Amino acid sequence: MDLFKLLVGLVILVVGGNFLVKGSVALAYRFNISMVVVGLTVVSFSTSAPELIVSVYSAISGHSDIAIGNVIGSNIANLSLVLGATACFFPISFDKRLYSFDIPLMFLSSVLFGIFLYTQSRISFVEGTIFVSLIILLTIYLIFQSPKELQSNSYIYIKQISFVSLIFYLIFGAISLYFGSRFLVEGAVGIARYYGYTERLISLTVIAFGTSVPELTTSIIAAYKREKGLSIGNLIGSNIFNILAVIGMTSMIQPIVCNHPSLFNVDFLWMLGLSTMLFLTILFGTENKIGRLKGLLLFVSYFFYLAFIF
């Protein structure tokens, strides 16, 4: 029964996330928002909605390790599994904005998250307010500072949907995320208890992978359609959103306590290591792109991580 709940929850999350992405992008196009901003805000925010709902529900239900592990595991999956798989098929180039602002911001967000975890082993209302304030300021900055660009043809079918369909996508996606997250968390907790796994392990693997599926599909489709900015922008924006918005909003609703030391000593440091490696690669690299070889190394590193924590 728990396995059934978990699988149903994953399916509902993926379907709901897809509808939410379509609705969010269509809404952004109605306001003529540029592709860079669409990738870094609208798409990354909507693809991170599963992480947000899962983390909030977990924290309220008294499973703080799932709330934290979901975010850390999802960020690890984004930077290794998703980015690596995408680059293996379609090498990804960075524009100036990504390596001069967005990737450093992702790195600094990770460092700030780590400082709070290390010093007090919890994220309270105060830290959550700081995170949410930062994501609001970032969004405002991106909307007003990013140059307008020609709209992409990749989502031309989304631009043509009616306003009624747009509202349906948003509402259906939001409802699906709620029920999907509920089934997913309940099923994962049940499986963890039955087989003796910790909530940390389940949240870092099964739950994190499930909530990262929207990022995976969005990035691969965007790269295939030659929207490299949207592909990498979605991942970087999603990781920033996971820390500042997901952890921030969750801790404002219910303070998050890190009960398992390995969440910081192992998992967070692995996530920070990936962020640091990407930051240094862009800072000191001779070419601003991730080719197939680097993509393969990132992809394989995800499975090394899984083998290590198991």
Instruction: Out of 25-39, 53-67, 272-286, 296-310, pick the least confident.
Output: 25-39
Give the pLDDT of residue 133.
97
- The larger pLDDT score, comparing residue 282 to residue 84, is at 84
Give the pLDDT of residue 153.
46
- Measured distance CA(250)–CA(185) in Å, rounded: 15
End-to-end, the C-alpha distance of the chain in Å comes to: 24
- Measured distance CA(100)–CA(103) in Å, rounded: 7
What is the rounded average pLDDT for all residues in the chain?
83
| Max avg pLDDT among 118-127, 193-202, 218-227 | 118-127
Closest CA to 82 of 268, 288, 199, 238: 238
Give this prediction's pTM: 0.84
State yes or no: pLDDT of 43 exceeds 80. no
2-309: which CATH architecture? Up-down Bundle (1.20)
Query: Are the beta carbons of 63 and 199 closer than 8 angstroms?
Result: yes
Count Cα atoms within 13 angstroms, Cβ side, for 190: 13
Using DSSP, state whether 122 is helix, strand or coil. strand
What is the per-residue pLDDT across 131-176, written as a single tens digit (0 to 9) for each?
999 999 988 887 777 655 444 444 444 556 777 888 888 888 888 8
Query: Are the beta carbons of 38 and 230 closer than 8 angstroms?
Result: yes
Contacts of 241 (CB under 8 A, 6+ apart): 44, 45, 48, 135
What is the per-residue pLDDT across 8-30, written as a single tens digit (0 to 9) for each?
988 888 788 778 777 777 777 77
- pLDDT level of residue 191 (50, 70, 90 thresholds): confident
What is the per-residue pLDDT across 226-265, written as a single tens digit (0 to 9) for each?
766 667 777 888 899 999 999 999 999 999 999 989 999 9
Give the pLDDT of residue 233.
76
Work out the average pLDDT over 96-105: 77
Work out the average pLDDT over 40-67: 83
Which sequence spans correspond to the domains of the chain? 2-309
